[in-house]
Amino acid sequence: MKNIELIFVPVPATGHFVSAVEFSKRLIHRDDRIRITILHMSWFPNASVDAYIESLAASQPDGIQVIGLPHVDVPIHPTKSIESSIPAFVQSYIPPVRDIISMKSISDETRVAGLVLDFFCSSMIDIGTDFDLPSYIFFPSNASLLSLMLYTPDRHSLKSSEFETSDPDHLIPGFVNPVPTCVLPSPLFSTDGGYTAYLKTAERFKDAKGIIVNTVEPIEPYTLNYLSNGQNPPVYPVGPVIDFNGLSYSDDKVMKWLDDQPQSSVVFLCFGSMGSFKAPQVKEIALGLERSECRFLWSLRVPPPHNDASEMLPQGFLERVQGRGIICSWAPQLKVLAHKAIGGFISHCGWNSIIESLWFGVPIATWPLYAEQQLNAFMMAKEFGLAVEMRLDYRKDSDEVVMADEIEKAVGKVMDGESEVRKKVKEMAEKTRKCIMEGGSSFNSIGRLIQDMVGNN
Least confident window among 40-44, 55-59, 114-118: 55-59
Based on the fold, state whether residues 341 and 449 are members of the same structural domain.
no
Average pLDDT, rounded, for the chain? 93
Based on the fold, state whether residues 231 and 288 are members of the same structural domain.
no
| pTM tops 0.85, yes or no | yes
Backbone φ/ψ region at 113: left (φ over 0), alpha (ψ -120 to 50), beta? alpha
Angle at 365 between CA 441 and CA 413, to 5 degrees: 115
Confidence of residue 1 (pLDDT cuts 50, 70, 90): low
Confidence of residue 46 (pLDDT cuts 50, 70, 90): confident
* Residues whose CB is less than 8 angstroms from the CB of residue 258 and which lie 6 or more positions away in sequence, other chains included: 266, 297, 336, 339, 341, 342
Based on the fold, state whether residues 446 and 370 are members of the same structural domain.
no
Considering its fold, how many domains does the chain have in total?
2
| CA-closest candidate to residue 144, choices 175, 171, 122 | 175
Least confident window among 96-110, 205-219, 229-243, 422-436: 96-110
Instruction: Calculate mean pLDDT across residues 375-382.
Output: 98
Return the CATH number at 298: 3.40.50.2000
* Residues whose CB is less than 8 angstroms from the CB of residue 176 and which lie 6 or more positions away in sequence, other chains included: 222, 383
Based on the fold, state whether residues 136 and 179 are members of the same structural domain.
yes
Based on the fold, state whether residues 229 and 264 are members of the same structural domain.
no
pLDDT tens for 309-318 read 888 999 999 9
Tell me the three-class secondary structure of the chain, residue by residue: CCEEEEEEECCCCHHHHHHHHHHHHHHHHHCCCEEEEEEECCCCCCHHHHHHHHHHHHHCCCCEEEEECCCCCCCCCCCCCHHHHHHHHHHHCHHHHHHHHHHHCCCCCEEEEEEEEEHHHHHHHHHHHHCCCCEEEEECCCHHHHHHHHHHHHHHHHCCCCCCCCCCCECCCCCCCCECHHHCCHHHHCCCCHHHHHHHHHHHHHHCCEEEECCCCCCCHHHHHHHCCCCCCCEEECCCCCCHHHHHCCCCHHHHHHHCCCCCCEEEEECCCCCECCHHHHHHHHHHHHHHCCEEEEECECCCCCCCHHHHCCCCHHHHCECCEEEECCCCHHHHHHCCCEEEEEECCCHHHHHHHHHCCCCEEECCCCCCHHHHHHHHHHHCCCEECCCCCCCCCCCCCCCHHHHHHHHHHHCCCCCHHHHHHHHHHHHHHHHCCCCCHHHHHHHHHHHHHHCCC
Answer for the pair 358, 240: CB distance below 8 angstroms, yes or no. yes
Based on the fold, state whether residues 424 and 447 are members of the same structural domain.
no
Based on the fold, state whether residues 342 and 303 are members of the same structural domain.
yes
Confidence of residue 271 (pLDDT cuts 50, 70, 90): very high
Based on the fold, state whether residues 428 and 443 are members of the same structural domain.
no
Q: Is the pLDDT of residue 306 over 80?
A: no
Confidence of residue 54 (pLDDT cuts 50, 70, 90): confident
CA distances from residue 313 to 187, 216, 283, 385, 399 in whole angstroms, order as listed? 33, 40, 5, 33, 18
What pLDDT shows up at residue 332? 93
Q: Is the pLDDT of residue 262 over 70?
A: yes
Instruction: Calculate mean pLDDT across residues 230-252.
Output: 87
Strand pairing category for 3-9 and 34-40: parallel
**How far is it, in rounded angstroms, from Cα 113 to Cα 139?**
19
**How far is it, in rounded angstroms, from Cα 357 to Cα 382?**
17
Instruction: Calculate mean pLDDT across residues 220-233.
Output: 93
Give the number of other Cβ atoms within 10 Å of residue 394's Cβ.
Answer: 19
Instruction: Calculate mean pLDDT across residues 266-287.
Output: 93
Confidence of residue 456 (pLDDT cuts 50, 70, 90): low
Looking at per-residue pLDDT, the higher value among 335 and 107 belongs to 335
Based on the fold, state whether residues 278 and 383 are members of the same structural domain.
yes
Handedness of CA 230, 15, 382, 335 (dihedral sign): positive
Based on the fold, state whether residues 381 and 446 are members of the same structural domain.
no
Domain extent for 315: 248-432
Based on the fold, state whether residues 212 and 255 are members of the same structural domain.
no
Least confident window among 49-53, 284-288, 398-402: 49-53
Instruction: Calculate mean pLDDT across residues 323-340.
Output: 94
Based on the fold, state whether residues 425 and 353 are members of the same structural domain.
yes
Confidence of residue 51 (pLDDT cuts 50, 70, 90): confident
- R_g of the chain computed on alpha carbons: 22
